[in-house]
Amino acid sequence: MPTPLDRFFVDAADDAETAVHRVRVALAILAWSRLALFKGGEMFSGEPKHVITTVVLVLGVLLSALLLRGLRRAEDKRPWLTLSPLLDAAYVLGVVMPGVVWPRASYVGVLLQPDFGLWLLIATGAGFRLSRSAVWSGAAGAFASVGLLVGVDLTSNTDRIGYGAAEIALAAVLLLGATGLAYSMDSWMRRLVARGADEAVRGERARQRLGAYLSAEVAELALREEATLGGERRDVAIVFSDLRGFTRTGEQVGPDELIGQLNAYLEAMVAPIHAHGGVVDKYMGDA
Secondary structure in 3-state letters for 36-74: HHHHHHHHHCCCHHHHHHHHHHHHHHHHHHHHHHHHHHC
DSSP labels for 153-203? HHHH-TTT----HHHHHHHHHHHHHHHHHHHHHHHHHHHHHHHHHHHHHHH
The set of residues, in sequence order, having a beta carbon less than 8 Å from that of 234 and lying 6+ positions away, is none
260 and 160 inside one domain: no
Q: Residue 158's pLDDT is what?
A: 93
Q: Residue 230's pLDDT is what?
A: 62
In this structure, are residues 14 and 71 in contact, taking their beta carbons and an 8 Å threshold? yes
- Is 281 in a helix, a strand, or coil? coil
159 and 31 inside one domain: yes
In a domain, 59, yes or no: yes
In this structure, are residues 4 and 197 in contact, taking their beta carbons and an 8 Å threshold? yes
128 and 160 inside one domain: yes
Cα(268)–Cα(32) distance, integer angstroms? 68
Q: Which domain holds residue 263?
A: 213-275
156 and 18 inside one domain: yes
CB 215: neighbour CB atoms within 10 A?
A: 19
Residue 160's identity, in one-letter code, is R
Q: Residue 40's pLDDT is what?
A: 83
Q: Residue 165's pLDDT is what?
A: 96
Does the pTM surpass 0.75? The reply is no
253 and 217 inside one domain: yes
Q: Residue 228's pLDDT is what?
A: 58
Q: Residue 287's pLDDT is what?
A: 41
Low-confidence residues in the chain, pLDDT < 50: 287
Q: Residue 200's pLDDT is what?
A: 72
262 and 180 inside one domain: no
17 and 48 inside one domain: yes
Q: Residue 190's pLDDT is what?
A: 80
Q: Residue 63's pLDDT is what?
A: 94
Q: Residue 83's pLDDT is what?
A: 93
59 and 177 inside one domain: yes
Q: Residue 240's pLDDT is what?
A: 80
31 and 68 inside one domain: yes
**Residue 112's closest CA among 152, 151, 167?**
167
Quick one: 145 exposed, middle or buried, by C-beta within 10 A (0-12, 13-18, 19+)? buried
In a domain, 158, yes or no: yes
